Amino acid sequence: MRVLVAEDDRRIAADLARGLTEAGYIAECVADGEDAWFRGDTEDYAAIILDLGLPRLDGLTILKRWREGGRRTPVLILTARGSWAERVDGIDAGADDYLPKPFQMEELLARLRSIVRRSAGHASSVVSIGDVTLDERQMQVSVRGQPVPLSPLEYRLASYLVLHRGRVVSQFELNENIYGQDDAHDSNAIEVLIGRVRKKLGPDLIETRRGFGYIVPGDGA
Amino acid sequence: MRVLVAEDDRRIAADLARGLTEAGYIAECVADGEDAWFRGDTEDYAAIILDLGLPRLDGLTILKRWREGGRRTPVLILTARGSWAERVDGIDAGADDYLPKPFQMEELLARLRSIVRRSAGHASSVVSIGDVTLDERQMQVSVRGQPVPLSPLEYRLASYLVLHRGRVVSQFELNENIYGQDDAHDSNAIEVLIGRVRKKLGPDLIETRRGFGYIVPGDGA
DNA sequence: CGAGCGATGTCAGCGAGCCGTCAGCCGCGC
DNA sequence: GCGCGGCTGACGGCTCGCTGACATCGCTCG
């Protein structure tokens, strides 16, 4: 699951990248307003963390442009402590949530989970599909109540498919969202991964759409 | 179980309400000092979360009035980060615990449970997981009733994991919360510490989630 | 002041698990 | 029946985390 980090303070950006990576996301960082707008407009992210004080192009302007262009990617804005005006403006411009700096990584992750979930239309951090239950908080998947250990990549794959259930996901999309666009593999690594996940979670969770990709059945979204 | 939330920042109040509700409490919010005092004095709550900077009537004054009137409802006060004076004053005025803002919902819930438990007459804040018992008050850990001496760092590690049981905690997060983000170690100090704690408390308390971190099984606290 | 001890960071080695690759097979669709 | 896309079992390189050993530091006691 890819997340765009638009933050010009290198230290904060590095912290964010690390925290996100450890939480299982793919973090892609930009430090410049123009870049941020371009990436957010052309790439598909699960969420965007946006600092309002970017050079070259202001965060609020970026956000407005995205929304005017029809982009509904959930956006979490970072604001300076106590600046209420900024927060209100941000919400008005279409932000899904805000977080005052300095912040705790854990809180950021919680809010991020929240807006990602909201945008996907789910209500809780636990999703059940048939016998399979996925708990984002524990980063744990269970089958009929029995916890099943998944490796990091297996978990990423499973959670991405489950979060986008009811929709066909192409191998290319999986590749990009599991590994990040920079180092996409051209082998059948995804297929192998799919196989391993099926072996652990049962063969019925993930269906193959020959020639198109994979799909987890669910609410017809 | 009803909890009164006295907080004038609407956003924080809303977050609190949501988090408390999800944790199974009934949250009732007031944003005004006079209202807070009245409600706390006439209604019966399991606990009260009190921001000190309320309009119309100061939080400390409210707290003192309650206590003078004989109200023993446990009170958790919210303070600004780093303002030690406020905390001391709050404890003196009869608060049961304090929490610096910004806070993590999980930690708030943990502390809330703690003071509720304490006020209900249970032997202070004791958590048992399998054979292991952790007493936060005495900073004492026991295995099958036998006290086990832990070094300061070992105790910090164990208590942090136990306090956040049911959730995967990354090595980075442990590093930050055990040492403080200023001097994070890049070595395998955490791994060594984990090993030492396991040797003393048994190998089953802390599970390793390769690639993610560590987790103590238990209810999602 | 020096010896002793406990606490803790560092290091190297090791074993397990992870994961990409490949080759061959299967089965769907034509 | 053929071809191609997908599946699977095997393998090996590699990383991660665990462990025992050692160095260092601070404290205490003689």
- pLDDT tens digits, A178-201: 887 666 677 788 999 999 999 999
pLDDT at B154: 92
Q: Is B215 on the interface with A (CB under 8 A)?
A: yes
pLDDT at B92: 60
Of residues B172, B209, B220, nearest to A139 (C-beta): B209
The segments of chain A whose pLDDT lies below 70 read: 68-70, 80-93, 100, 102, 104, 106-107, 114, 118-125, 181-184, 219-221
Q: Is the CB of A210 under 7 A from strand C?
A: yes
Residues of B in Cβ contact (< 8 Å) with A103: 102
pLDDT band at B5 (very low <50, low <70, confident <90, very high): very high
- To the question of pTM greater than 0.85 for the whole model, the response is no
Nucleotide nearest to A178 (CA to C1'): C19
For tokens 């997060």, the residue is B173
Q: Is B33 on the interface with A (CB under 8 A)?
A: no
Q: Which residue of B has its CA nearest to A148?
A: B209
Of residues A18, A103, A139, nearest to B172 (C-beta): A18
Report in angstroms the alpha-carbon separations of A70 from A2, A5, A64, A66, A95. Answer: 19, 20, 10, 6, 13
Identical fold between A2-120 and A126-215: no
Nucleotide nearest to B152 (CA to C1'): C7
For tokens 């610096």, the residue is B100
pLDDT at A154: 94
Among residues of chain B, what percentage have pLDDT more than 70?
A: 78
pLDDT at B167: 80
User: Which range is least confidently modeled, A83-87, A171-175, B113-117, B130-134?
Assistant: A83-87
Residues of A in Cβ contact (< 8 Å) with B11: 87
Q: Which amino acid is at A1?
A: M
pLDDT greater at residue B61 or residue B125: B61
Of residues A23, A104, A152, nearest to B104 (C-beta): A104
pLDDT at A30: 93
Q: Which residue lies nearest C10, CA-to-C1' measured?
A: B187
Task: Look up residue B25 and give its DSSP letter.
Answer: P
pLDDT at B122: 36
pLDDT greater at residue B152 or residue B1: B152
Q: Which residue of B has its CA nearest to A18?
A: B172
Residues of A in Cβ contact (< 8 Å) with B169: none
Q: Is A18 on the interface with B (CB under 8 A)?
A: yes
**Gap from B172 CA to chain A (nearest CA, Å):** 8
pLDDT at A123: 45
pLDDT at A215: 92
Nucleotide nearest to A199 (CA to C1'): D8
pLDDT band at B172 (very low <50, low <70, confident <90, very high): confident
**Gap from A38 CA to chain B (nearest CA, Å):** 31
Domain ranges within chain A, ordered by starting residue: 2-120, 126-215
- pLDDT tens digits, B57-109: 888 888 888 877 667 788 898 876 555 556 556 666 667 777 877 777 877 88
Torsion of CA B10, B13, B17, B18, to 10 degrees: 70
Separation of CA A210 and C1' C28 in angstroms? 8
pLDDT at A193: 93
Q: Compute the distance between CA of residue B189 and CA of residue B110 in angstroms, rounded to an integer.
A: 27
Q: In the CATH scheme, what is the code of domain A2-120?
A: 3.40.50.2300
Q: Compute the distance between CA of residue A143 and CA of residue A129 in angstroms, rounded to an integer.
A: 10
Q: Is the CB of B152 under 7 A from strand C?
A: yes
Residues of A in Cβ contact (< 8 Å) with B213: 22
pLDDT at B6: 94
Q: What is the mean pLDDT of residues B15-19?
A: 85
Provide CB contacts within 8 A for A41, sequence distance 6+.
A65, A66, A69, A71
Separation of CA A170 and C1' C27 in angstroms? 20
Determine, for residues A19 and B220 on separate chains, whether the beta-carbon distance falls below 8 Å: no
Question: Which tokens is B123 given?
Answer: 């032997």
The CATH number of domain A126-215, selected from 3.40.50.300, 3.90.550.10, 3.30.70.270, 1.10.10.10: 1.10.10.10
pLDDT at A98: 72
pLDDT at B158: 92
Q: Which of residues 155-184 of B touch A (CB under 8 A)?
A: 166-168, 170-173, 176
The CATH number of domain B2-119, selected from 3.40.50.2300, 3.10.129.10, 3.40.50.300, 3.20.20.140: 3.40.50.2300
Interface test with B, best of A18, A86, A138, A155 (most B CBs within 10 A): A138
Footprint of strand D, using CB within 7 A?
A 171, 188, 191-192, 194-195, 198-199, 203, 208, 210-213; B 171, 188, 191-192, 194-195, 198-199, 203, 208, 210-213
pLDDT at B182: 57
Of residues A23, A24, A107, nearest to B102 (C-beta): A107
Judging by beta carbons within 10 Å of its beta carbon (0-12, 13-18, 19+), is residue B144 exposed, middle or buried? exposed
Alpha helices per DSSP H over B131-184: 152-163, 171-179
Q: Compute the distance between CA of residue A169 and CA of residue A161 in angstroms, rounded to an integer.
A: 7
